[in-house]
Amino acid sequence: MDAYLGLDVGSVTTKIAVLDGDDKLLTSLYMRTQGQPIRVIQESLRKIESDLPAGVEIRAVGTTGSARYLAGVMVGADVIKNEITAHAVASSFYFPDVQTVLEIGGQDSKIIIVRNGVVTDFAMNTVCAAGTGSFLDQQASRLNIRIEDFGDMALESKAAVRIAGRCTVFAESDMIHKQQMGHKTADILYGLCEAMARNYLNNLGLGKEILPPIVFQGGVAANKGIVRAFENNLKAEIMVPPHYQVMGAIGSALLAHEHVMYAEEPTKFNGFGVSDLDYKTSSFECKACSNVCEIIQIRMNRQIIARWGGRCDKWEL
């Protein structure tokens, strides 16, 4: 059986998806990156290999995410694409008429405007944690509730309180103040959901024409309270895809499949044996010009196999 593998390696989570020849999901994996992308990529490849049925042959590989170049060098990617492209492709695959994609991950959030299957506009927030999954994790931990229960508890709210959601520091202080005033936990949680939705729409959605169908993906899409808050703000139905957590990886696999259909060369995939190799990364500043680029390099068994990060080709191998 021919199969196509996609990796989405982010700062918080690493996702892998394997599609068959008809682009149906064979298996997927969602793991915490834990600040060690190399180790987690290798571990996830071992787990995925054990989950695949006998006779599966990987015909092409795609990578995306903030560590897409690192992952691409390690596994031998045929396609390396940014997150916007990967998420848009995956959304369009499951919802061909999609016009707006909302995506909230662990460390960043995105909005993608799609018209007739083509990305026409997008925005990303990578500098503030107030509208991301890591902030929800932190607040759930502080309130001593499981993050898996956050959404259901929020929906129990009868009178949501208003939380200042533009900054993590202000939001947390406001939540503590509301607790001290005696507000119910459910009302505080849904207030935070509404604050996140407002913050997202006032920042990423500012000036954008947000039209249905609207697809919500990323790990935060599991939170029913956030879904309800978006629906209340946008006055439209929010659709959550079945594999919302691994849509970036699915998009990468779809792009890899499309690439191999037109490419005449065989896949560059290094095989699942890369999980046993010794990889190390390092970086240095190039001072050849005023750009002072940070050059990242990766070694395998003490030999430099790739460099990236420069604005010119001075350090390319």
pLDDT, position 67: 86
The answer to whether the bond into 213 is cis (omega within 30° of 0) is yes
User: Do 235 and 134 lie in a common domain?
Assistant: yes
Q: Output the CA torsion 249→259→3→107 (10° steps).
A: -10
Say how many CA atoms lie within 13 Å of 252 toward its Cβ. 31
pLDDT, position 1: 86
Examine residue 198 and state whether it is found in any structural domain, yes or no.
yes
pLDDT, position 183: 75
Examine residue 211 and state whether it is found in any structural domain, yes or no.
yes
Q: What is the pLDDT of residues 299-312, one digit of tens each?
A: 887 788 888 788 88
pLDDT, position 169: 59
User: Do 210 and 288 lie in a common domain?
Assistant: no
At residue 158 the predicted structure's pLDDT band, cuts being 50, 70 and 90, is: confident
User: Do 122 and 235 lie in a common domain?
Assistant: yes
User: Do 118 and 236 lie in a common domain?
Assistant: yes
User: Do 143 and 232 lie in a common domain?
Assistant: yes
Examine residue 313 and state whether it is found in any structural domain, yes or no.
no
pLDDT for residue 149 is more than 90: no
Q: Count of CB atoms within 10 A of residue 208's CB?
A: 16
Highest mean predicted confidence (pLDDT) among 64-68, 123-127, 181-185, 255-259: 255-259
User: Do 28 and 51 lie in a common domain?
Assistant: yes
pLDDT, position 23: 94
Q: Taking the model in full, what pTM does it have?
A: 0.84
Query: Max Cα separation, the chain?
Result: 67
**What single string gives the DSSP state of each residue in 62-84?**
EEESTTHHHHHHHHT-SEE--HH
Least confident of 100-104, 258-262, 270-274, 304-308: 304-308
How many domains in the chain?
3
User: Do 156 and 206 lie in a common domain?
Assistant: yes
Examine residue 316 and state whether it is found in any structural domain, yes or no.
no
Question: Domain of 303?
Answer: 279-308
User: Do 131 and 72 lie in a common domain?
Assistant: no
